[in-house]
Structure 1
Amino acid sequence: MIYLDYQATTPLAPDARDAMMRWLDGPGGTGFGNPHSPHRMGRQAKAAIEMAREQVAALFPAGGRVIFTSGATEALNLAIRGSGEGGTVSVSAIEHSAVLDTAQDAGKCHILNVAKDGQCNTKQDLPADTRLVCVMQVNNEIGTIQPTLEWHRKAKAANALYMCDAVQAYGKIEVTSADMIAISAHKFHGPKGVGALWLREGLDIKEVQTGGGQEFGIRSGTLSPALIAGMGAAAKEAKERMEQDRDHVEKLWRRATELFGKWEINGSAEARYHGNLNIRRKGLDVNRLMSDCRDIMFSAGSACASGSGRTSHVLEAIGLSKAQAKSSIRLGFGRYTTVEEIEEAADQINAAAEVQGL
């Protein structure tokens, strides 16, 4: 099988797996302690968490706090619901559903439009009562990099907070400045089921889930030393090899765009993370293509929307028709992808498209 779905999840890094194993001990071991217990096993588990907190924090802007969560969805909910009530939450039209749906459920929601190149238009005004602006750094479906610095500036000028979904950026490119930033470990070669919300220094938010208040009195619930240790190790490795990973992704991008030269790229090819190739071909039956290429793991849209039958809201937001959106596929690649895998996948996908008469 060839795995080309890095936006959905990334392969677990060996260092992350190794870091997790001690904290998965069974009877007779010493790594299964509750990190919130006062005895020695608990203190050891807590020390592992605090080391991982430092490793994760190293890829955020200087200062601030890292609050561990079960993933980006929880982190985003905590940021949106915990940062205030009333007023308007302004969100870009291409945000992940964890942002869009939560903002709409939390109260008044204002949608910011995007241009055809997939970037959120910075010329538009914010509602006068905006309390929070949410613009992601890298889009999960088409990979476009957003003008986050300008949106942070606009939020400040409006006396609003700025929250950034950096799930697809963290560990790959420098994370933007913001008041709150959400990430998920499994998008940078860490384990599933753990993420974090970064809060800038001096910012306090309220908890939205009551309990023991284990994370600074803001997030309740027993932390998992194994998952968090794996996340920390993945963050450490991402920081150490960011330049190497970037160069490798650029090499893969150049080859992929050569091989898929007959396809149209959705969104900007320049203002984009090049580990995401979202392309379309007129008249393509994507379901048939995926059936014909079942040994290649790629996506017809974002993973969380797969099987819903809904047209991608991201592709519609950049002006694609329903037919164009439904003839699009997303190829995601990264650290462990080889050029040979890109070439083999392109051969199979192009051949299957040509069978359809395209």
Structure 2
Amino acid sequence: MSIYLDNSATTRPAPSVVRAVEEALTVQYGNPSSAHRLGVAARRLLDESRTRVALLLGVSPEEIVFTSGATEANNLAILGVARAARALPLSSYDDRERKEREGKAAGAESRPHLITTAVEHPSVLEPFRRLEDEGWEVTYVAVDRQGQLDLAALSRALKPETVLLSTMWVNNETGVVHPLQGIREVLIQFEKTQGRRPLWHVDAVQALGKLPVSPRELGIDLLSLSGHKMHGPKGVGALYVRRTVRLQPLVWGGGQERGLRSGTENLPGIAGLGVACQEARERLAADPEASYLRRLRSLLWDGIRESIPGARLHGPGPDTGAVAPHILNVGFPGTRGEVLVRYLSERGVHVATGSACHSRRPEPSHVLGAMGLRPDEIQASLRFSLSWENTEAEIREAVAILREVVAEVRSLTGWKGRDD
């Protein structure tokens, strides 16, 4: 028996995706830049796959840039915008006359400014920290105890010098959905008063395939996605780049991907990503509210809440629109998350303590810490993440095994319902 509830770390590739990857490896193996028939066929497959990704997002194929994954896409968005802004100074932070009118010395240049949140994925936070080292000013907007973004704090953080705002759509550890419509309204109001607004990048890795994702409708300028988080292959992702957005490449060479990501394209991965996006689009058309995943999530939480004393939900309740349909983060006082993961895995249930990027490190979750949890509460937490492949029978079996494991671990720690 194997019950896989770690789909936010990675998903099993769909059979159709595996077939597409195999065909691109063995049949359509030409270089898309070659002029012969195999190259032309490879280029056609590349274009078809790009169109499938674009259709899922409701954008133009020309606005899709393929990458090695979401980490590269996030880096390209953040560092690419910053490098382009440095190369072409923005009037918002290089206008000497404006500074003189404001009583500032003409030589006292304001530092260019960036904004993100305190709960982003490491592939977003680390590029911002690198830019801080280079002299950029970065504001990390806080979240409340439910993990939800403080829109008033975001509004206060915006400056004329702000070049980029980067937020995630769905938090990978808690499933909290950031209020993108609210963020959009904040940016609109800022633009009304300042005459311009910063570019807006969204990490949509955990939203894609579970929620409708329409960057144009929300005014998003850049959006990152990953193949292996939506039943596609590993090693491939994409970045939506609105037509008028200027980026400086991170990789230089043959000028592939509109010059933004040089190097021969990973056609097998891209073909698999295209198929995964097509299937995600079909699933969302049939179930736009992801009601099946929401039902599984509610079944899981109800089972935990009713059978395991002291279990605590981290984030909004499952019946609100402020949480994604597939992620559940729960604390089990009197336990250690890494111990629960091992015990559960030995019994065939596979879960995580948090982000796969940090699950093998001793550092506590920065996401739960930003929500105000104590270190002992963080260390007693598990993340369950579901997919369309999970069944109600699996959820019930997982709850039964989890109940036994938590009781076993608590018998070793001596927990008697205390909160210490």
- TM-score interval for Structure 1 and Structure 2 normalised by the shorter chain: over 0.9
Shifted more, 240-249 versus 207-216: the winner is: 240-249
Q: Does 1:165 align with 2:203?
A: yes
Q: Is the contact between residue 152 and residue 162 of structure 1 (CA under 8 Å) also seen in structure 2?
A: no
- Equivalent in the alignment of 1:57: 54
- Secondary structure of 1:135's aligned partner: strand
Q: Deviations over 1:135-161 (max 9, x none)?
A: 110000000000122223434525201
Q: Is the contact between residue 210 and residue 325 of structure 2 (CA under 8 Å) also seen in structure 1?
A: no
Q: Is the contact between residue 133 and residue 155 of structure 1 (CA under 8 Å) also seen in structure 2?
A: no
Deviation, structure 1 residue 251: 1.8
* Distance of 1:82 and 1:135 partners within structure 2: 16
* Residue of structure 2 aligned with 1:108, choices 119, 137, 142: 137
- Equivalent in the alignment of 1:210: 252
* Distance of 1:20 and 1:287 partners within structure 2: 34
- Equivalent in the alignment of 1:268: 316
Taking a change above 3 Å as real, the CA distance of residues 127 and 250 of structure 1, as seen in their structure-2 partners, is: closer
Q: Deviations over 1:204-226 (max 9, x none)?
A: 31212111110001111110211
- Equivalent in the alignment of 1:7: 8
Deviation, structure 1 residue 100: 0.6
Q: When the two structures are superposed, what TM-score results if normalisation uses the length of structure 2?
A: 0.81
- Secondary structure of 2:259's aligned partner: coil
CA-based RMSD: 1.5
* Residue of structure 2 aligned with 1:304, choices 357, 364, 379: 357
Q: Is the contact between residue 135 and residue 151 of structure 1 (CA under 8 Å) also seen in structure 2?
A: no
Q: When the two structures are superposed, what TM-score results if normalisation uses the length of structure 1?
A: 0.95
Structure 1, unaligned stretches of length 5 or more?
none
- Secondary structure of 1:191's aligned partner: coil
Which amino acid in 2 is paired with 1:310?
Answer: E
- Equivalent in the alignment of 2:335: 284
- Equivalent in the alignment of 1:146: 178
Q: Does 1:198 align with 2:240?
A: yes
Q: Is the contact between residue 132 and residue 155 of structure 1 (CA under 8 Å) also seen in structure 2?
A: no
- Secondary structure of 1:293's aligned partner: helix
- Equivalent in the alignment of 1:329: 382
* Distance of 2:37 and 2:12 partners within structure 1: 33
Q: Is the contact between residue 155 and residue 161 of structure 1 (CA under 8 Å) also seen in structure 2?
A: no
Deviation, structure 1 residue 170: 1.0
Q: Does 1:67 align with 2:65?
A: yes
Identity within the alignment, % = 34
Deviation, structure 1 residue 75: 0.5
- Secondary structure of 2:225's aligned partner: strand
- Larger Rg: 1 or 2? 2
* Distance of 1:92 and 1:60 partners within structure 2: 24
Q: Deviations over 1:3-52 (max 9, x none)?
A: 10010011111111112221111xxxx42111111111111111101101
- Secondary structure of 2:44's aligned partner: helix
Taking a change above 3 Å as real, the CA distance of residues 96 and 126 of structure 1, as seen in their structure-2 partners, is: same
Deviation, structure 1 residue 127: 4.2
* Distance of 2:207 and 2:66 partners within structure 1: 18
Which amino acid in 2 is paired with 1:202?
Answer: T
Which amino acid in 2 is paired with 1:184?
Answer: S
* Residue of structure 1 aligned with 2:231, choices 166, 180, 189: 189
- Equivalent in the alignment of 1:43: 40
Q: Is the contact between residue 141 and residue 330 of structure 1 (CA under 8 Å) also seen in structure 2?
A: yes
Q: Is the contact between residue 118 and residue 267 of structure 1 (CA under 8 Å) also seen in structure 2?
A: yes
Number of aligned residue pairs: give it.
Answer: 354
* Distance of 2:357 and 2:323 partners within structure 1: 21
* Distance of 2:165 and 2:185 partners within structure 1: 11
- Equivalent in the alignment of 2:368: 315
Q: Which has the higher helix share?
A: 2
